[in-house]
């Protein structure tokens, strides 16, 4: 454990040192290169800012509208048929939309059921095996000027669905073995 702690502590200083040594050997002006990257970063932020504002506004409206609770109630009979735990359904619905909301929902699940419970493990695996799809698509596509995201969205939501279902199955199978 101490070896892992040691590598964790020296990883970033080592990477920085390697960059500085490489720049020195190749005679690259580090600060000038940093300034060029910073200017490009600011330009990207300016480009994607309107998209982010719209996305955050939509997420806030969705969270406060109560539509998620309504969707969970409507889906409960179907989910029960497949033995899908309705306790993690809020996380499954929110995760593709918002990272901060999904962290809050995941934390709530873990506080309610415990981190070592089956629901806590399912929530953790869902968080690790899915992405905040809408946010990611909005940021990446708007930064490079892509307007048609229909196929990207479909593929990403299918991947999220597979990640969520697989998370539940794997956690249930693993908890049966212990």
Residue 2 CB contacts under 8 Å (≥ 6 apart), including other chains: none
Tell me, what's the pLDDT at 54?
80
| DSSP-derived secondary structure letter, 117 | S
Arithmetic mean of pLDDT, 120-134: 93
Q: Place 178 in a pLDDT band, splitting at 50, 70 and 90.
A: low
Q: Which domain holds residue 79?
A: 2-177
User: What pTM did the predictor assign?
Assistant: 0.67
- pLDDT tens for each residue of 76-86: 999 889 989 99
Integer-rounded Cα radius of gyration of the chain: 21
Q: How many structural domains does the chain have?
A: 1
**Spacing of C-alpha 14 from chain mean position:** 28
Residue 51 has pLDDT above 80, yes or no: no
Res 40: pLDDT: 92
More confident residue, 121 or 57: 121
């Amino acid at each position: 454990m101490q070896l892992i702690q040691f590598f964790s502590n020296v990883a970033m200083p080592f990477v920085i040192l390697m960059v500085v040594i490489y720049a020195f050997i190749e005679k690259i002006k580090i600060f000038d290169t940093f300034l060029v990257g910073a200017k490009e970063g600011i330009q990207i932020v300016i480009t994607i800012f309107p998209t982010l504002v719209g996305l955050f506004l939509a997420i806030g409206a969705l969270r406060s509208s109560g539509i998620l609770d309504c969707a969970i109630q409507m889906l409960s009979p179907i989910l029960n048929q497949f033995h899908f735990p309705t306790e993690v359904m809020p996380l499954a619905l929110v995760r593709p939309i918002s990272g901060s909301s999904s962290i809050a929902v995941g934390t709530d699940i873990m506080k309610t059921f415990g981190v070592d419970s089956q629901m806590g493990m399912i929530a953790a695996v869902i968080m690790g095996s899915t992405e905040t799809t809408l946010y990611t698509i909005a940021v990446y596509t708007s930064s490079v000027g892509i307007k048609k995201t229909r196929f990207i969205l479909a593929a990403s939501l299918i991947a999220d669905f597979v990640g969520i279902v697989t998370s539940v199955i794997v956690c249930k199978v693993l908890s049966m073995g212990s």
